[in-house]
Amino acid sequence: MSAEPWLADSAAVAREVDADLACGLTTAEARARLARAGANQIEARAGVPGWRKLLAQFPDPLVYLLIAAAIISFITWAVEGADGLPFEGFVIAAILVANAVLGYVQEARAEQAVAALQRMVAVSSSVVRDGVEQRINSVDLVPGDIMLLAEGDAVSADGRLVTAASLTIAEASLTGESEAVVKDVSTLEGPVAIGDRLNMVFSGTAVVRGRGRVVFTGTGMATEMGHIAVLLESTEEEPTPLEREIALVSRTLGVAVLAIAVVLMAAVLATSDISGAGDLVEVLLIGVSLAVAAVPEGLPAILSVVLALGVQRMARKRAVVKKLSSVETLGSTSVICTDKTGTLTRNEMTIQRIVTRSGEVDVTGTGYAPEGELLVGGRPITSGQLLAEVQAVLSGGSLANDASLREEHGTWIVHGDPTDAAFLVAERKAGFTEARDARFRRVGEGPFTSERKLMSTLQVDAELDARVVVVTKGAPGILLSRCTHERAGHDSLPLDDDRRSEILATVERLAGEALRTLAVA
């Protein structure tokens, strides 16, 4: 595009990429654009042939030293009359081959594991083509395609929003921001950072709430993810700490062995009666034999075995190591500068504490597996009044909610906002889910916006003669200002100014403990 799409309105962007916002591209036009722009995927480095991968295991100073030792062993054996077998040369050669094969096999397995993961995450996208909504493989997306976004969808390319209805997107994979971003179709002005381009969607992100319509402006390597890939490809690979140490040891050992051999041969020549070429060859063989004997033939194999054991330990922790030497590099690291969300953390929210009028309840367990307990002072809840209040909080938070939680092959999967998911998980831990499902039926909603800072749903309550009730969760200060009563067991009590101040003080205390606070009504 000739200009940044976030600085232009959606109609202008559509004209720029020659797109029809209503009917989308034709199949023929999409095919032609795919041929010009290429597949919508991050370009990988050209594959390296297997034989080159095997040879790549040899460029190492210590390996060079061992190769020289093996060659010298074979030459010495030949000069001495080729009597018997050159066992030392064979042993060194076997060690070199075994070391190379071990490294090659490990790297090949890692590449296969990564390829398998990439095949698993292949996604499809809903687009409008020929005036009809259809589902296509995401690698076939092209600039000008019109994509329809809904909750749970993965965004497969960069694009300008045309319409958005409560559209909220998790951009942690791109920006590192743990909070999902509420999108807006309004045109922006001036230089805007990626995280603030509210009228844009980006490849690699995911829709957690709402719906939207997007015209794609960039695919494949023309996306923000593609730009990151280019930067990563341009970085030069530096020797690892282990490789630097091995190179130093190899140089030092080589110089020392050569010096000792020369000194020894000089001493023998000075103190012995050399009568002919045969004696001279004998002296040279003594020096060469000393040099070969001083080379630590088993060191490369020992290093490879130790690193391979480290790789196996990492594999048990679900980490794929593509290069053996990376294990030692990680072990030598003292400071890591990294993004948090999605790298050190999993972008999973967990409810840790529930505060009601009757007291505070601790919730154990982390992650999305509904495994944990609700405890007061380390003991199960015994107060019926407190239990009723906790149920109201968790069920209310689960009703004012767009997330879903289900178990697949022993793993609990969430679609939607992590904060919404936290309520669903805590409610399952408490065992309230079935009662809530049986009592309420959703008939409407008031979506979360950055202005309201609240999310509301309209629910038909079977226990109140099918009357419609409003359930809301959101920022404590804003929600508290709209409430007149507080839940007290199965009843409610009026809120006065003193109680409001007390609640706000509790919110401040929890925030001081690095806890994110939400209120439910």
The 10s digit of each residue's pLDDT in 274-292 is 666 666 667 776 776 676 6
Phi and psi for 238 in degrees, rounded to 5? Answer: -100, 155
Geometric angle at alpha carbon 164, from 468 and 477, rounded to 5°: 55
CA 349 – CA 303 distance, rounded (Å): 41
Instruction: Calculate mean pLDDT across residues 358-365.
Output: 92
Q: In the structure, what pLDDT confidence band is assigned to residue 25 with cuts at 50, 70 and 90?
A: very high
**Are 508 and 363 in a shared domain?**
yes
Q: Is 493 helix (H, G, I), strand (E, B) or coil?
A: strand
Q: Is residue 468 part of a domain?
A: yes
Out of 210, 233, 256, a domain closes at 233
Specify the amino acid at residue 221.
M
Lowest mean pLDDT among 7-11, 160-164, 231-235, 423-427: 231-235
Percent of the chain residues topping a pLDDT of 70: 85
- pLDDT in the model for residue 113: 63
Mean pLDDT of the chain: 82
Q: What letters, b where the CB count within 10 A reaches 16 and e where it falls short, cover 460-475?
A: beeeeeeeeeebbbbe
Largest CA-CA distance found in the chain, in angstroms, rounded: 120
Residues 6 or more apart in contact with residue 61 via CB below 8 angstroms: 246, 247, 250, 251, 254
**Predicted pLDDT at 486:** 92
Residue 459 located in a structural domain: yes
Confidence check: pLDDT of 213 > 70 = yes
- List the one residue out of 142, 9, 72 whose CA is nearest residue 292: 72
Is position 83 annotated as part of the catalytic site?
Answer: no
Q: Of 233, 253, 271, which marks where a domain is finished?
A: 233
| φ, ψ (nearest 5 deg) of residue 339 | -70, 150
45 pLDDT more than 70: no
Q: Is the pLDDT of residue 352 over 90?
A: yes
Q: What pLDDT score does 314 carry?
A: 78
Q: Are residues 15 and 149 in the same domain?
A: yes
Q: What is this structure's pTM? A: 0.55
Average pLDDT value for residue range 109-133: 72
* C-alpha separations of 501 from 213, 354, 474, 477 in Å: 44, 18, 18, 10
Average pLDDT, stretch 423-433? 89
Domain tally for the chain?
2
**Do residues 31 and 161 share a domain?**
yes
Write the CATH number for 15.
Answer: 2.70.150.10
3-state secondary structure of 109: helix
Q: Which residue has the tokens 């009917």?
A: 23
**What pLDDT does residue 326 have?**
74
User: Are 30 and 167 members of one domain?
Assistant: yes
461 in a structural domain: yes
> Which domain CATH number covers 459?
3.40.1110.10
- Domain extent, residue 191, equals 10-40+141-233
Among 54-68, 136-150, 158-172, 479-493, the minimum mean pLDDT is found in 54-68
Q: Which two tokens stand for residue 351?
A: 């409810």
The catalytic position among 20, 339, 362, 461 is 339
Asked if the structure places residue 50 within a domain, the reply is no
**Residue that terminates a domain, selected from 202, 233, 264:** 233
424 in a structural domain: yes
> Residue 492 is inside which H or E element, if any?
strand 491-494
> For the residues 468-496, what does the mean pLDDT come to?
91
Packed helices 241-271 and 325-332: angle between N→C axes, nearest 10 degrees: 110
If you average pLDDT over residues 356-370, what whole number do you get? 90
Same domain, 224 and 365: no
Which pLDDT band, with edges at 50, 70 and 90, does 237 fall under?
Answer: low
Least trusted range by pLDDT, from 219-233, 390-404, 479-493, 506-520: 219-233
